């Protein structure tokens, strides 16, 4: 299916972007980050438009997003463009939400998660061109990640009452 292929392509792009950042080819890396962001938007649209929504595809999309963002940030950390703390905070949040979803505690993806992912991609692009702006935007993305995490955990409890 095309939607799942787009998500899988993001896993390949994650490795390519990591290598480009490690070799300090930031302008080329930014091109592929934009490509990954577009693939993230398109995979969901294709799945809905052509009725290709599957559980596996949904899981693959979430995994691809997490791997792409965290591996790209690791590259930026190794080239001294970002501190370790926001990476650790994002990783902890992603692990927590993944387990919460697995155990049926967290709500499905919603607009807050999409905003979080968009902010992460914007921060990654900014880190390529202007590291200080990228650092600031990364902290905005971390804040957004934790706020969306609260929504994911709190929303299911509201529907039960």
Work out the mean pLDDT of the chain and round it to a whole number: 91
Homologous superfamily (CATH) for 2-160: CDP-alcohol phosphotransferase transmembrane (TM) domain (1.20.120.1760)
Dihedral angle of Cα 24, 29, 31, 36, to the nearest 10 degrees = -170
- pTM exceeds cut of 0.85: yes
For the chain, the domains span 2-160
Q: Residue 125's closest CA among 72, 77, 62, 74?
A: 72
| Tens digit of each residue's pLDDT (9 = 90 or more) over 58-72 | 889 989 999 999 999
Contacts 24+ apart (CB under 8 A), 99-105: 100/152, 100/153, 101/152, 104/156, 105/153, 105/156
Helix, strand, coil percentages, rounded to 5, for the chain: 85, 0, 15
Give CA–CA dist 132/129, Å, rounded: 9
pLDDT digits (tens, 9 = 90+) for 117-153: 999 999 999 999 999 999 999 999 999 999 999 988 8
Contact (Cβ atoms closer than 8 angstroms) between residue 85 and residue 99: no
DSSP 110: -
CA distance 125 to 79: 15
For residue range 77-111, what is the model confidence (pLDDT) as tens digits?
Answer: 999 999 999 999 999 999 998 888 778 776 677 88
Q: Tens digits of per-residue pLDDT, 34-85? A: 999 999 999 889 988 898 888 888 889 989 999 999 999 999 999 999 999 9
In 10 A of CB 140, how many CB atoms?
Answer: 13
């Amino acid at each position: 299916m095309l939607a799942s292929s787009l998500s899988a392509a993001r896993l390949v792009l994650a490795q390519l972007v990591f290598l480009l950042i490690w070799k300090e080819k930031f302008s080329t890396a930014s091109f592929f980050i934009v490509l990954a962001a577009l693939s993230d938007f398109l995979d969901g649209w294709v799945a809905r438009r052509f009725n290709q929504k599957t559980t596996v595809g949904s899981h693959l999309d979430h995994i691809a997003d997490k791997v792409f963002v965290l591996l790209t940030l690791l590259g930026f950390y190794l080239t001294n463009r970002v501190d370790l703390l926001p990476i650790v905070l994002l990783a902890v949040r992603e692990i927590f939400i993944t387990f919460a979803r697995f155990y049926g505690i967290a709500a499905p993806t919603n607009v807050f998660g999409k905003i979080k992912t968009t902010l992460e991609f914007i921060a990654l692009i900014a880190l390529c061109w202007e590291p200080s702006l990228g650092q600031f935007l990364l902290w905005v993305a971390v804040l957004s990640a934790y706020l969306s995490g609260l929504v994911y955990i709190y929303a299911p409890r509201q529907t039960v009452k």
